[in-house]
Amino acid sequence: MPYLNQCTQIPEPVDCRILTAALDLFVETGYHKVSIHEIQRRANVSIGSIYNHFGGKEGVARALHQHILRELEDMIERVCSGIDSPLHCCEAIIAKLFEHTETHRNIIAFAFHAKHSDFLPDEPLLYHSAPFSRMRSIVEKGMARGEIREMNSWVATSSVFGGAIRLIQLRLDGVIDEPLSGLHEQLMDAILGGVLPGRSPKKTAAR
């Protein structure tokens, strides 16, 4: 997560301070309940600067949105770079998402827990964004290679990632009180082999 992480260094560039302050506030309070004045206060900048850099509150949200989608995309690219099997790629993505849920909580929360269409109506749907399209195309490649059974690609993608995303949301809401990494193996068993008893896939079979 390159850019927003640089913000922990000094001196922090103004636009970066604004973005991190806005990210934190949006996640904590919800976009609509956050005023520009709060962002301004938390970021230690003036309202004028916010308008100069982003053109307003919605502009901040849009910049944040695009920034985080790009970081997610980069993450997927990085994680999958050395992996040939699409199925292992999916597994690695889920593991990394679980990891980021602990280490980059607000970024994951903004990506998976916010309803972007509520405040960025003109932005294309999240499902059509690069990282989510990428996940779907990986699943499709898995089907083409015979690693994943043939089925409707939305069903396949939802089956592979739906449970993981749900767990992430539960973790973000504090319903699950342990890091998700401890649940990763069980989840992968359920995704690959289903929930019926006596069908747990031998780990070697998928590797």
Partner DNA sequence: GTCTATACGCTGATAGAC
Partner DNA sequence: GTCTATCAGCGTATAGAC
Task: Spell out, one character per residue from 23 to 62, where the chain touches a copy of itself: x when CB under 8 A holds, - when not.
Answer: -------xxxx-----------------------------
Give the whole-angstrom CA distance, residue 148 versus residue 88. Answer: 11
* Identified binder of a copy of itself from the candidate list 78, 103, 151, 181, rule CB under 8 A: 151
**Spatial contact of 193 and 199, defined as CB atoms under 8 Å apart:** yes
Phi and psi angles of residue 198, each rounded to the nearest 5 degrees, phi first: 70, 20
**Spatial contact of 108 and 100, defined as CB atoms under 8 Å apart:** yes
Give the whole-angstrom CA distance, residue 74 versus residue 127. Answer: 17
Region binding DNA by CB under 7 A among candidate stretches 39-47, 77-85, 138-146, 189-197: 39-47
> What are the tokens at 12?
């922090």
User: Total binding residues for DNA by CB under 7 A?
Assistant: 17
Closer residue to DNA, CB minimum distance, 56 or 194? 56
Kindly state whether residue 152 participates in binding a copy of itself, applying the rule CB under 8 A: yes
Kindly state whether residue 29 participates in binding DNA, applying the rule CB under 7 A: no
Quote the least distance from Cβ 135 to a copy of itself, whole Å: 12
Element at 150 (helix H, strand E): none
Please enumerate in sequence order all residues whose Cβ is within 8 A of that of 196, keeping only pairs 6 or more positions apart, or say none. none
Quote the least distance from Cβ 126 to DNA, whole Å: 22
Nearest to 25 by CA among 66, 61, 56: 61
Give the whole-angstrom CA distance, residue 108 versus residue 97. Answer: 8
User: Total binding residues for a copy of itself by CB under 8 A?
Assistant: 55
Give the whole-angstrom CA distance, residue 151 versus residue 25. Answer: 41
Quote the least distance from Cβ 105 to a copy of itself, whole Å: 16
Kindly state whether residue 49 participates in binding DNA, applying the rule CB under 7 A: yes
Interface contacts to a copy of itself, rule CB under 8 A: 30-33, 113-115, 117-119, 125, 127-128, 146-152, 154-156, 158-167, 170, 173, 175-176, 183, 186-187, 189-201, 205-206
Interface contacts to DNA, rule CB under 7 A: 14, 34-37, 44-49, 51-53, 56-58
